[in-house]
Structure 1
Amino acid sequence: MRHEAGEGAIEFFEVEDQGSINIKVIGETEAAGICGSGLLDIVGELVAHGVIKKNGQFIDPESSNSLHPDLARRLVKQDGKLIFKITDKVFLSQKDIRQVQLAKGAIRAGIEFLLENKGVKATDVDRVLIAGSFGYHLRGKSLINIGLLPKEFDGKIEFIGNTSLSGAKAFLLNETYRDGMKEVVKSVEVLELANYKDFDKVFVKCLSF
């Protein structure tokens, strides 16, 4: 399915209690694709409601008694493979889910090694700041549903926008900030994840939802 932020892209997805779905589309027009934040929303909600299993595969609608009938009806086969129909023109495929798993696995593995390096438990983290303009369209609920962030981060997540832009402005216009940034740069420690023992094992483990 097409994944880009533009008019017609689904940017919000939620499963209602009665099994129906609620979506929001950029430009308030007919859905034609899915943007990045919408993709995370969709996968997160489908994981939470049992449509997607922990290993990333769609559940078999014919063998599941726990799946809501309205959700089960959206699981259909296309070219012999299960897809989840969101609208008549937009669907989620197994390939889409794998893309989310790979990105999620890499980020979560990095978080696990960062916590380990500093000797900090997830429960000890006070604030989680997510930068980037993309972050404005994300929901903490979705990130926790798919396991990209530990469940212990729930209620501690803040989306702080395009910090690279605001930081560049501060560097150019404010000498006090400039001096402070120079000092911070000196104290930055780079963690090379590929050099960590068992990185590949942790990465594979983090692929699961």
Structure 2
Amino acid sequence: MRPTDRLFEVIQILRGARTPVIAARLAEQLEVSVRTIYRDIVALQSMRIPVAGEPGIGYVLQRGYDLPPINFDIEEAEAISVGLSMLARTGDAGLKRAAERAARKLNAATPLSEALLTSSWGAPDLDLLPEIRAAIREERTLQIVYAGDAGSLTRRKVLPIALIYYAEVAVLAAWCRLRKDFRHFRPDRMHECTPLDERFEGEGGSLRRAWEASRSTGPAANRLAGQRSNSTKTG
């Protein structure tokens, strides 16, 4: 890896980290020595890139730092173009519109082959998906009316924490106040979905970690397994 490419990778790793990253971890990921990482950190700081920290404690990239525009080679651009076009399959109208905007910008910068085609098949657009994504970002409680496996409707308040896109269906992971447990809901079964003023600010991260742990160790894991295109239990 060229030194300039490695500096870029160091920035990317620090940008995505939630806690300080020690030099040994950076060295392991980039397959270089710890001494090389120390030199890279000094080089970045000399270029006025806001990397803070010190040996033994770890390094962080200060918030608000933006990388310069990235140039893609033709194969990278084609891979991104195909990936963007496949977002139509999610049924998320908001993501589909964003993907179309991104694809136009990409094509303007790097004209792509007209032979790259993807199927337009996918789930029907669900206008509530952008609203659900916004509620997850804003840590805002949702009030939903949901149709269960037997078709019975229940009204409940949920704390939305993750939206999972499968090939056939999207699934919302949330803490359900009615069941007092994590539950998984198919947006296409929601008869109503209303964002409330009630927030759970600062709790989203811990809820996601607890949910992720429950997927492999708890009852919620059994509820989610095998439910990609089939019904999603709500208890």
The TM-score, its normalising length taken from structure 1, stands at: 0.24
Flag the structure with higher strand content. Answer: 2
Higher relative contact order (CA 8 A, sep 6+): 1
The TM-score, its normalising length taken from structure 2, stands at: 0.22
